[in-house]
Chains A and B, each alone.
Chain A
Amino acid sequence: EIVMTQSPATLSVSPGERATLSCRASQSVSSNLAWYQQKPGQAPRLLIYGASTRATGIPARFSGSGSGTEFTLTISSLQSEDFAVYYCQQYNNWPPETFGQGTKLEIK
C-alpha cells in the first residue's frame, strides 16, 4: 500500500499570506494526486486532481504542483474561508487509493 505523508500537521498562517502544504508518497504515484478541503461538519471538497488541475469552481488562488513522490498545494492569498483541513490522496494503480493524514490550516 502506498503511504501518503503530509506536512506539517498544523500550519498557522495569517489571512492574506501564502500557505504551502506538502504531501509525500512512499513510492511514485506519477501525477495521480488529488487535494481535498474539509471544513468542520462538512464533507470533503475536491480542489485539485492530476496534481495540478483545479476542479470546477475552485478559485485560482489554489494551485497544485509536483509529480512522482513530492507534491505541494499552494494557497496564494489566504481568505477566511480557506482555514480548514486539507488532505492529499493518491490514486495511482487505482484501486486502492490512499489519503494522507491531513494538514490543519489555522489562523495565525
Chain B
Amino acid sequence: EVQLVQSGAEVKKPGESLKISCKGSGYSFTSYWIGWVRQMPGKGLEWMGIIYPGDSDTRYSPSFQGQVTISADKSISTAYLQWSSLKASDTAMYYCARLITPGVYDYWGQGTLVTVSS
C-alpha cells in the first residue's frame, strides 16, 4: 500500500528554522517525483515545488524560490521541506504528494500544520 506519512504539527516563532518531513512507503521512492503544496488557513492549494528523489533534481515555483528548500534522502525514503527563517505568513498546512505523471498527484500525505506566532 502506497503511503506518505508526514511529520507532526509544529509551533514556531518568527525567525526560527524548521524542517518537516514526508516518508514514502509501499512503492519505489526513487522512481516518482514528490511535490509540496501549501494551503493557508481557509484558502486554496498552492504549488511550491517538486523533487525527484532518484537524483535530487528539484524545481521551485517562482513564488517560493529562495523562501524554502526542498530536499530528499533516498536512503530513508524521505523528502523534506525546510525554512531558514520563518515568518508569520508561513502559517499553513503543508502537504506532500506523489506524482504519477508530470503534474498529477495520486497519493497525498496527511499534511503538516505549521503555526508561526510570537
Whether A43 lies near B95 (C-beta < 8 A) is yes
The contact string, 1 if C-beta is below 8 Å from chain B, for chain A 1-40, is 1000000000000000000000000000000101010100
- Contact assessment for B103 and A97 in the assembled complex, using a CB-CB cutoff below 8 Å: yes
- The answer to whether B44 touches A91, judged by C-beta atoms less than 8 angstroms apart, is no
Size of the B side of the interface (Cβ < 8 Å), in residues, is: 23
Query: Which of A1, A36, A43 is close to B109, meaning CB atoms less than 8 Å apart?
Result: A43
Q: Secondary structure of the B side of the interface?
A: strand
The answer to whether A43 and B111 touch (CB under 8 A), given A34-B103, A91-B102, A91-B103, is yes
A43 touches B108 (CB 8 A): yes
Q: How many residues of A contact B (CB 8 A)?
A: 26
Interface residues of chain A, those whose CB is within 8 Å of chain B, are 1, 32, 34, 36, 38, 43-46, 49, 55-56, 87, 89-92, 94-102
